[in-house]
Structure 1
């Protein structure tokens, strides 16, 4: 039995990614029509959270229920992982009791080790290095609103963080060019940038980066675990707010995304976030549900 994991977008071929996005759109339509689609009765999703979450927990838990299964929420307080049990041991035990596992944690190396010893599919629901599930939702959202992102220009404004890294992978998978606007000292991983140098350009001026863009995206300036750096980061990222003035430099039909939660008045203006003629953040948030359902279906079907 082959076990497929989803730790980064690179775990999917280009065609598999396109198929999952297409299926996510289809599943969303079925949901809107109140057509039941529950192919996995009695299947159990194990949800391991070392970082807190709203969208990730609700979307995975609701998604597995809609697929006909159930979920178990596990925090460090609830498991031996929080008391120092080796990841390898936890992976081997938990994967014998559930059908699929999602993990939201800190070091990416942790999820790689867990997947190595798991007998069921493991999904990266966020690490410090990557957030591929969010990219599934973002790609789905662009496809729904504007069609294929192939050949488009996407601009990331902000920290070169886990979301930025996943956008670099998405640029290669979906064949778009990625502009990254970030202050010095906040660049994404240099090795990842170099590997994708043919489609990634680094800017220090957000205005230059956004010119001619079809899709603009940002994230909070201080991610989980960086709260003590908030004030320092606010100073470093001065001028990096995405607002109507900045979006005017993008293409006329450009759309704005944010993975949420948003800090209005910092990385994005409240006016832009609420302007549904440009901002698609609520569709983007909802699409976490549908994209992850399509992903779980894909991974579970590959176990058969």
Structure 2
């Protein structure tokens, strides 16, 4: 077990899950331990009904495959119910203040999950909601995904100590959350991005402060070979995230030397694993022989979204 402290679910009940910055290393380990236990129970056909009678409201301003299905299935496995809400279904899409929507939904549901654009939107929801708010993705952070990534790394490597995680690509919400998540658990992290596509300075600075406490190192570079050298974990994401599709052609030029392919991964450790939050564009950010090769664990990683989200919901709701 990762968590050797006295943290339990009652310590997290009612807490929002907006970024991993809001949680201690021990609390993150608690989520991971819980997810591992819930995964084992589900495989054995004995998933505990921890959220029986509870309802999760799910607000989607961005489209999704893995997020919607994993949260809905996760609530069902825990005995609860999930309610899908698009902007078309809500008065917020017609100009109702976020504060009013948050207050009203809090009277109906036991938790609110939001997948949106501006991180400020989810912070405002959390300010006015009286039930836990879970960040299923904003332009700045993707904490549920990174918790699943950490779970996958732990399953594959059995530890975070002495590991190096390398992310190649856009300094986007994935880069931000990986910086924070890796630093929190004491794993070295290197980010390689083209110039003008680096992660936000404020988030890099926060990760470096966290790393001082956990003994991790944080490296930001424009050189993908420098970043990937001796990596235990290699990670990438699409070059044009949702909301940046109009920049696709421009980004393809800027990122042309940042593809994760056999030449690049040859600089990593022979035992490296490959991660991608999906959906993936084979032939762009990653070559098919890497994502479909023996080092890739992307589908284990995708499955683990289900289990970490159950852990988050069970603890907070």
Fold shared per TM-score above 0.5: yes
Of residues 44-53 and 3-12 in structure 1, the stretch that sits farther from structure 2 once superposed is 3-12
Distance in structure 1 (CA, Å) of the matches to 2:227 and 2:47: 44
Offset at 1:218? 0.4
**Between Structure 1 and Structure 2, how many residues are aligned?**
299
Q: Secondary structure at the residue paired with 1:192?
A: helix
Q: Of residues 294, 297, 300 in structure 1, which corresponds to 2:314?
A: 297
Distance in structure 1 (CA, Å) of the matches to 2:147 and 2:197: 24
Q: Of residues 232, 246, 251 in structure 2, which corresponds to 1:214?
A: 232
Alignment of 1:195 with 2:206, yes or no, is yes
Distance in structure 1 (CA, Å) of the matches to 2:266 and 2:54: 48
Could you tell me which residue of structure 1 aligns to residue 299 of structure 2?
A: 282
Could you tell me which residue of structure 2 aligns to residue 256 of structure 1?
A: 274
Offset at 1:178? 1.0
Could you tell me which residue of structure 1 aligns to residue 214 of structure 2?
A: none
Q: Which runs of 4+ in 1 moved over 6 A?
A: none
Offset at 1:74? 0.4
Alignment of 1:34 with 2:45, yes or no, is yes
Distance in structure 2 (CA, Å) of the matches to 1:195 and 1:281: 28
Unaligned runs of 5+ in 1: none
Could you tell me which residue of structure 2 aligns to residue 172 of structure 1?
A: 183
Q: Secondary structure at the residue paired with 2:314?
A: helix
Alignment of 1:129 with 2:129, yes or no, is no
Could you tell me which residue of structure 2 aligns to residue 3 of structure 1?
A: 14
Unaligned runs of 5+ in 2: 1-9, 212-216
Conservation of the 8 A alpha-carbon contact between 2:182 and 2:188: yes
Could you tell me which residue of structure 2 aligns to residue 269 of structure 1?
A: 287
**Cα RMSD for the two superposed structures:** 1.2
Offset at 1:271? 1.2
Q: Secondary structure at the residue paired with 1:124?
A: strand
Conservation of the 8 A alpha-carbon contact between 2:183 and 2:218: no
TM-score norm. by structure 1 comes to 0.96
Conservation of the 8 A alpha-carbon contact between 2:152 and 2:301: yes
Q: Of residues 250, 257, 263 in structure 2, which corresponds to 1:239?
A: 257
Alignment of 1:59-138 (within 5 A): 59-138=70-149
Offset at 1:196? 3.0
Offset at 1:151? 3.0
Q: Secondary structure at the residue paired with 1:4?
A: coil
